[in-house]
Structure 1
Amino acid sequence: MSNLGQLDAAPRTAPVFNSRRAYAAAHVVPQAEAENTPGGAVKLDWDATLRIRHRLWQLGLGVAEAMDTAQRGMGLDWPSSAELIRRSAQEAQAVNGLLACGAGTDQLDPASIGDGGAKALKRILAAYRQQIDVVQNAGGTVILMASRALAKAARHADDYFTVYSTLLDELDRPAILHWLGDMFDPALRGYWGSTDLQSAEQTVLQIISAHPEKVDGIKMSLLDPGREISLRRRLPLGVRMYTGDDYNYSSLIHGDEYGHSDALLGAFAAIAPVASEALAAYDRGEPEQGRALLATTEELSRHIFAEPTYYYKTGIAFLSWLNGDQPGFQMVAGLHAARSVPHLRELHRLASLAGVLKDPGLARSRMDDWLRVCGVQR
């Protein structure tokens, strides 16, 4: 294990929630004195990055590692992602923490995809396999991330079926599929072979139904609760719906008479203490209390994930800094400049109202310091 001396009372075994399974998609912390500029080399502060994961495990949440929240495709390259997966897996094993890790195709040169076709699909399969091997060898659950390369190369829905069926057949254990809408990544428009969501849903169901024993669940991030509920009700028995809806998670996790969604959310990295308290309420048989707690955080989450949604990571890192979980407000590839002063000022106000600031005095002090640096007076 790395040197985590500053971590407060790290448990030997992470607590587990039984009524809902929940992963928080954690971000990464760069070295404060690294370049941290667009195109700059990736240099992570490993102690700070891993402390964040331990705090999530302490709260009973799983960690969704090396996902888009960790800037996959937005500054974090594949070699750094692979190292992150290995290190997080080692830490997870030490505390029996729940860990699922993103496996994608982001090591591919986009030029190698060309206009698609059989050769491009073979390259995509090889890239997925390389990343899957890293995750499986580390002991993590595989999340088959939505692939920009596949979105570019696939000519129809059958190409998605071929790629995903091939990979699922080869897996050692069940994986989580990943449906990320183009509001999170514009390059994924038309994923699953169609911009018509009904047609895309049918393709997803065909893939899952052909391999139900190899699919733990699907993370759905379309910010469309009706679409999520529709697919959730059609999933084979035993296949989970992991909501990735950072706008409407309270009602989706609460569920209805036909079932509920589990969670794999970037928002849970921001609201982890309240999310933990809400999940504990569900475990105690107090579902309305659980729903009410989650609902108190949704205004904050909607603000963090406001358009342009793909810059939500900046808000998560800013809140992490306000909470003292990282030494400075820095992000890989200079992404800390992706949100405005008014946006982050409002984030601080909403975080205070939502009760997710560990030390409100520290957060206010840091907020005042940052505003002064920006030339703004309270």
Structure 2
Amino acid sequence: MFRPAWHPAGMVDELPDRAVKGRGSLSNRSGRFEPTRRVAIDDGWSRPARTQPDRTGPGSSPSEATDDDALPPLRTVLHDDTSRSVIARNDSPDIPHDRSLNPYRGCEHGCIYCYARPSHAYLGLSPGLDFETTLFRKPRAAELLARELRARGYVPKPLTLGSNTDPYQPVERQERITRGVLEVLRDFRHPVGIITKSALVTRDLDILAPMAAEGLVSVAVSVTTLDRDLARRMEPRAATPARRLETVRELAAAGIPVAVLASPMIPGLTDHELEAILEEAAAAGAKRASYILLRLPLEIAALFQEWLHEHAPDRAARVLSLLRQCRDGGLYQAAFGTRMRGTGPYAELLRRRFHLACVRLGLNERRLELDCTRFRPPPAPGDQLGLF
């Protein structure tokens, strides 16, 4: 469907957004702080069809396309983040940790529902395609973390890696920033919890397993759906559901406490899989579990609706209706205490189903407490050695 847009020559047709292979968002609309809005329009000039490479990248076979389709490939672009500190603090009553570290801003996984998308608007970028293609790495993260942990008066508490964007997204394979951060935490004997949906976390078993033996680490693996095709469209560059469950198995076998996050649960689309996800995760060795009802703050509401009408048009009306039933008639309610779980009969049914499944599967029987008493800053170059 075309939407009218303003042009010096009058009202013209705005080109519709289309799915891009390997990317979650359909559009790249300006963020909420931008004074202008840029759109692609049909200027009426037609050109003959030409052959262009497919957008999947180098080595792909060419495909016939009109000039309207001849868009450049959406490649990932990396920039350096020049922040002078890396530990982020929060006092939210809905979050079980008060400090976190995110090695990257933006996330190449491209999950359409990601609650971190609106943060790209603070950078003057779109929470849509910009969020998953224009990334900011923190090359000095390990150095800055060590400096902050040595600060006089620092009190250790569990630090979360991946509270906003995934610390093991694809670029980490080359950048190795997350691994550098883990090396610092290991050397300081500082407790850390990791949240990811990537199998790359198993690369660092040589660091994680010894830390787990000292009660210093836990890992939570996000499994949103067991449907491989749905996952490919909803989380295009994340590990497949089967690979994530295998990751749970590998972590558990290495003695690392592992949890499954069945999040977000999307009413009418993925919520019927809740019990199956928990069963598969428990069989793989997970001992804890949690879930979050789909959250659609700020720009995510429009992005998710675009995606829904493109990839699940037959279920779009029902999904949005159920969400409104869980959000007091809106698509999102930001109030503490209810934003993670929702309200109303449908949200209560989901909560009850989760509780009963956890009881049946033996999940969440024990509370995991990471050990903060082992924290010891290692000697820095030039430090006086201790007597004992």
Report the TM-score range of the alignment, normalised by the length of the smaller protein: 0.3 to 0.5
- With normalisation by structure 1, the TM-score equals 0.37
Structure of greater Rg: 2
Greater strand percent: which structure?
A: 2
Larger relative contact order (C-alpha < 8 A, sep ≥ 6)?
A: 1
Greater helix percent: which structure?
A: 1
- With normalisation by structure 2, the TM-score equals 0.36
